[in-house]
Every structure is written in structure tokens, then in C-alpha cells.
Amino acid sequence: MWGKPKTILITGAAGFIGFHLARYLHARGDTVFGVDNFNNYYSIDLKRRRAKELSPLGIPITEGDICDLPLLDNLVKQNKITHIAHLAAQAGVRHSLVNPQAYIETNITGFLNMLELCRKHPAIKLTYASSSSVYGTNTKIPFSTDDPTDHPASLYGATKKSNEVMAYAYHHLFGISVTGLRFFTVYGPWGRPDMAYYIFAKAIMEGKAITVYNYGKMQRDFTYIDDIVEGTAAAIDRGDACELYNLGSSNPEPLSALIKALEEKIGKKAILEHLPMQAGDVEMTYADMRRTQRMLGFTATIPLKEGISHFVDWLMQI
């Protein structure tokens, strides 16, 4: 029930989620434009290959930075953008310990530019990526959007919490439409090489050891990319005035289940090296999806074993 076709600008369109979202929206009849700075946080070649896949579909990606507000303003005006899916960000919990400045520049200043853009063009509806990392050291499970999120475990989580607060302020002050999506451990084909599932798969295939933190006592609400894209599209279509939604599978799995799924699909046993918990990490993520299901009509459907099978099939072809 998504109504008439939209003209959507996706920031981070050469990124993992942005790439899949662009293909999905295009396939259903929306006009899609992208912007991406192709930074070197992980393989630029992978980002270029994603962009190359989008090109024959007529989805152009402008190479530029979200910190460049005049560039964004020109893209919006020239292409008569009706909706923005803001997915560009400096990702990664652990990298925020190494290069905190990148998180402030991209996730705070860059996000401010998106809000200022919508302030200038108030008819645009903004849907933006938050993260399950905003729940930080919360111990109540499952994580609900009604829960307080005042104790981030990482600077990355703190920047995403800041985005939510900034979005609320701009909605309150200027009436712009803002919807935040708290993504939970997204995985799948064309994924990010810095993610555990990708690192584990490569190590198993190459006969190298896997580093398993907190001695394996970790659980994650793994959510397959196709489910994330469908939930994101549902949020774009709803176009709430000011809302937050969890997007997860609501089915946390231990790391051992991830490793077992990879071993079975690849056909090799993993070599495990157990270490203590890393700074910035949390033991469990678990999305309370009841409100998302009620408001967006969305439920994740792809189980971990099936999703990992699709991912490994892709990985073995590249």
C-alpha cells in the first residue's frame, strides 16, 4: 500500500543497505537518486561494484559528501526529491575507538545538514538510519522504543542517539517529517566486510582462526537485508510526522548458531580463538517488534540459516 511513485534520494547509496534499498525502490516504480562519498572505511572496490550494478537500472550516484550542504540542496532541487532515505554514516562500534572525529563529522554534522535540507524543503519526508546501538548498556529485554536510551556503550551509539534527539528538535521547531529506524545486525549478500559474519565466513573458507569475543557468550538479533529493506520501505511509505521504529528479527541467536550455519554451508569447521569482551560491545541485542508490526505491518521472515546460505552463495561467486 505504498501509493503513487516517489522521487527518493538515498544517501550512502553505494553502501550495503543503501544499495539494496535502491534496487528495491526502483523495482517497485520509484525514481531513485543516490549520493555517496566512497570513503575508504572498507573496500572502495566493493562500493564501486555496487554502484556499477545500479547504473544499468538508471540509478545515478553522485560522488559527494553529506557534509556538503550546497551539493545536497542542488540534488534536491534539480531532481524534485519528495523523500530522503538517509543511510550515510560512519559505521562500526570498534572503529569509533580509533577515529572518533569521523563519527562527529559524518554522523553529527552530516545529519545536521540533512535536517537543515528538510528545513529548507519542508515537504520532503525524511527516513533515517538509527541503530540498535542506542540501547547501549540497557539490560531490559527485548529492547523497546519506549525504553530510555541514556547509557550508550560506544561513541557510535551516542551519535545515533544524538540523531534521534536532533530529529525530534527539528520536527518540534519546524514541523518536518522524521522517521528513525533502529537497525539490528543487518547481514546478507553485498554486505560490509567489517561485520563479524563476513569476517567469520572468510576465515572459515581460508582455514584461519576466528576471534570470538566474550568467550562466545554473545547474542545478536541478526536481520537479513531483504527484511530490513522491506521494513525501511514501509517506513518511507507511512511518512510519519515524528517516529522511531525497531527493525529486527526479534529472535536473538548466539554466536555459536551463526558459526554453525557458516560451517554447514561452507562445509568446513571453524578454528575458534576465545577472548574477553571488547570495549564498546554489548552481550545481547533483541528487538521488541510489536509496535513496528502494528504501525508498519512489518515482520521479518528470513531465518538465520537461510540468510547465511544466501550470503555464502554470493561470497563464493565474487
pLDDT at 56: 98
pLDDT at 1: 42
Q: Are 220 and 248 in contact (CB under 8 A)?
A: no
How many Å separate Cα 193 from the centre of its chain? 14
pLDDT at 63: 98
The two beta strands, 83-86 and 7-11, are parallel
Selecting among 156, 170, 187, 224, the annotated active-site residue is 156
Indicate if 156 belongs to the active site. yes
Residues 6+ apart with CB under 8 A from 55: none
Give pLDDT tens digits along the chain (318 positions): 457 899 999 999 999 999 999 999 999 999 999 999 999 999 999 999 999 999 999 999 999 999 999 999 999 999 999 999 999 999 988 899 899 999 999 999 999 999 999 999 999 999 999 999 999 999 999 999 999 999 999 999 999 999 999 999 999 999 999 999 999 999 999 999 999 999 999 999 999 999 998 887 899 999 999 999 999 999 999 999 999 999 999 999 999 999 999 999 999 999 999 988 888 788 999 999 999 999 999 999 999 999 999 999 999 998
pLDDT at 221: 98
Q: Are 8 and 87 in contact (CB under 8 A)?
A: no
Q: Which domains does the chain have, with CATH numbers?
A: 7-184+224-249+286-301 (3.40.50.720)
pLDDT at 270: 97
